[in-house]
Amino acid sequence: MRWPSIRLYWRMALYIGAALIAFVVLSLAGVWYVAAGELENYTATRHGGLGREAARVLVAGGPEALRHWLDTEAPIPPDVTVYVLDAGSRDLRGQPLPALYANFVRRSVIAPPERSDDAFRPVRLAPQLRGPGGEVYTFLVLPNRIGVAGNAMTTLGLLAVAVLVIATVAGLIARSVGRPVGELQRVVRELASGQIDARVPTRIAARGDELGSLAADFNRMAGQLSDLLEGRARLMGELSHELRSPLARLQAALALAAHRGSIGAGEVTRIEAEIQRMDRTLGDLLRFSRLDAAAPLQQRLIRLDELLQALVRDEELEADSRGCRLELAAPGGQPVVGDPDVLRAAFENVLRNALRYAPADSVVAVELRFEPGWWQVTVADRGPGIPPALLERIFDPYVRVPDGSEGTGLGLAIARRALEAHGGTIAARPRDGGGLEVVMRLPAAQIA
């Protein structure tokens, strides 16, 4: 049979209440065990026959005989100390009184009692011994390990009990609250980083308290979010495929109409430009949806210098059409692991974006540089640059610089998704002397 779960705040109250009860019980037991035994010897010595025997020795042989008897024959328990004090608070055997007791003993033990009458006799805190010459001594018994502030062993025991109880309660709270909260935090971070299959373990979601309800609600939310993202990616992919077929037919019909002369050349050019733009937009949507769906990537060794050389050769025609040049600095070296098509698409989108904004007679520089454990690819242009507020946002989907240029707003977003899928990063920064630099980093392959 499974017991019903206790609500979290009642559980915390139960832990704290149990801790307080345990501390009180253990403390009382410790005080009774340590202090009671010592006080028992003290009481037995103070109220036993030791004082009477001391009085007989004093009367029979004087102070010297009493001193000798106390040092050699008196049955004094090891937990107490016996003082025989004269009127000046001096011990017969020369033992100094503890500093904590000295003033109290002088005022309340050795000093003569107040005057008494038939109805009242004041209590003496210690018996007195009368010597053969009439001198008066005070027979004082003090416990050795119990002082005004208590017993040192008892204090240490209470501290040990407190530490033990606090550690136990802290462990229970950490196990009951801290560990599930840490697990929830880990899963939230995984979901935020793009792992849409992240879920809180069943052992936490099945709890009957508030944390269990929170974990179950989070799993339901994560499941719904995963379904929405997968549905969106599937819809975008299917929509891109479905719209490309009508575009192909439209291009064929346009070519046929132009051949028959039923449409002017200017209109043909404009319509072809719009069709190409729509085709490019759909292609970007398709690529972005595939990356957004976290499709499995190929794992191959890639030489970035060779990939960039091929990319620059293919883009030289685009650069010539815009009146600018491409320069590549790509030394060979350690490869990376990844999908060559996905990485080429990332570099291509960044490079085409740089060519779009590069002015005539300028140079777009592509540099490959190795750092310990990383490859860095930098694409730099001399274009108008980007406002500082947009340096991070340009990598978000559908964000475009408000300069009137054409574009889908997905090129740099595709580049970021592709690089992050390979464990890399991408960032933009102003270029010294004007323009923009896009810096991409990829981890180098670990080859044994």
- Write the DSSP string, 106-133: IIIIISPPPP--SS--PPPSS-EEE-TT
- Asked if residue 434 lies in contact with residue 385, where contact means CB atoms within 8 angstroms, the answer is yes
Amino acid at the residue 103: N
Residues in a beta bridge with 81: 142
Angle 149-152-153 from CA coordinates, rounded to 5°: 140
Q: Name the nearest CA neighbour of 325 among 382, 269, 273, 370.
A: 382
User: Can you tell me whether residue 91 is helix, strand or coil?
Assistant: strand
DSSP 96: P
Q: How far apart are CA 121 and CA 247, in angstroms?
A: 121
Q: What are phi and psi of 150, to 5 degrees?
A: 100, -165
Q: Are strands 436-443 and 425-430 parallel, antiparallel or unpaired?
A: antiparallel
The dihedral built from the CA positions of residue 112, 118, 124 and 127, taken in this order, carries a sign that is: positive
Cα–Cα separations (whole angstroms), residue 167 to 20, 369, 420: 13, 53, 43
Question: Which one from 68, 241, 259, 422 is the annotated catalytic residue?
Answer: 241
Active site residue 259: no
Dig out the tokens for 194 from the structure: 């793009």
Residues in a beta bridge with 404: none
Q: Are strands 363-371 and 325-329 parallel, antiparallel or unpaired?
A: parallel
Distance, C-alpha 321 to centroid of its chain? 54
Neighbours of 176 (CB within 10 A): 18
Q: How far apart are CA 143 and CA 36, in angstroms?
A: 11
The dihedral built from the CA positions of residue 261, 265, 268 and 272, taken in this order, carries a sign that is: positive
Give catalytic residues, as residue numbers.
Answer: 241
